[in-house]
Structure 1
């Protein structure tokens, strides 16, 4: 985290929409490089979000969370499976014991959806496509563990595994 701490300059007409679009003065920011630049200086303080440079601090609006996890891949670390999430701004986030993970209500009607912490209390909502991939992998794991003595496999809870930990996806 950077140590920049300028005074608040005010509110910027910038919104990060629920669909992950960055909207400035009513128009979507089309240049991905510019979106990535803005994302790199984004900071959260309490329930508010700011774009912070060494000399300026502007409050912006975020409708849900600033990022969306648009891809997931299977990797490995220290011989253990590790899931790697990529956000709409290009951040790659390994799901580990040190990573924030939660299920939160989203949509109408509200359904529990996974969210992953990208950095410093900035979160990404897992996209529908990524969620379906995770469910497929969780169901594969459940099918592989049939007949095991692990009591968790007999419940209706659906979990994924990454970095030697279990992370909830919801229930079946």
Structure 2
């Protein structure tokens, strides 16, 4: 086994050709190969052995074989290897908020820093939590335990779309509609 990102890239490319768009990592369950010195910084930058990974194609490829498991750790997974990596906050960032339609019929979409477009809805729900300092932590569920954090500009764009919604027997809340779903963002 090797901690060489180039070798991981070759394995993934071979598997992706067979599988289509995304490699079927939910079917891959190799034993843990160990820790690899790859870190995803809070700003979304990927590092290998302390140096930025310069090739965007490698970052995009690695994002397709990344998953978060029940133990809370993130892993790069191939059919034969599984490497634990470090993630400072979330592995992906969401930016470029797009809106189509109005009111309860609107659809919101974000594009991640690896070029994946996510439509907010049942498959990719929005949740706004908080960091320890009380600042908002807006997340979109991506897949395989992964989340994308909305960057500040996208969060402010989202804030411009807030509406008040009152569920039966509950206090009004502020939130947004997308894909037929209502996502609370705060109390009214």
TM-score, L = length of structure 2: 0.76
Q: Tell me the residue number matched to 1:106.
A: 131
Q: Tell me the residue number matched to 1:92.
A: 117
| Partner SS state of residue 186, structure 2 | strand
Are the counterparts in 1 of residues 125 and 183 from structure 2 also a CA contact under 8 Å?
no
Question: Does residue 1:130 correspond to 2:146, yes or no?
Answer: no
Are the counterparts in 2 of residues 112 and 170 from structure 1 also a CA contact under 8 Å?
no
Structure 2: how far apart are the matches of 1:72 and 1:57? 33
In the alignment, which of 73, 90, 99 is matched to residue 65 of structure 1? 90
Q: Per-residue deviation at 1:158?
A: 2.2
Q: Tell me the residue number matched to 1:4.
A: 28
Are the counterparts in 2 of residues 43 and 51 from structure 1 also a CA contact under 8 Å?
yes
Question: Does residue 1:31 correspond to 2:47, yes or no?
Answer: no
| Partner SS state of residue 35, structure 1 | helix
Q: Tell me the residue number matched to 2:178.
A: 162
Are the counterparts in 2 of residues 91 and 118 from structure 1 also a CA contact under 8 Å?
no
Structure 1: how far apart are the matches of 2:55 and 2:123? 32
Return the structure number with greater strand share.
1
TM-score, L = length of structure 1: 0.82
Q: Per-residue deviation at 1:99?
A: 2.5
Deviation digits for residues 15-58 of structure 1 (CA, Å, limit 9, x no counterpart): 11111111110011121111101101101111011001111110
Which deviates more from structure 2 when the two are superposed, residues 39-48 or residues 90-99? 90-99
Q: Tell me the residue number matched to 1:116.
A: 140
| Partner SS state of residue 65, structure 1 | coil
Q: Per-residue deviation at 1:168?
A: 1.8
Report how many aligned residue pairs link the two structures: 158
Structure 2: how far apart are the matches of 1:162 and 1:35? 29
CA RMSD of aligned residues (A): 2.1
| Partner SS state of residue 119, structure 1 | coil
Are the counterparts in 1 of residues 166 and 172 from structure 2 also a CA contact under 8 Å?
no
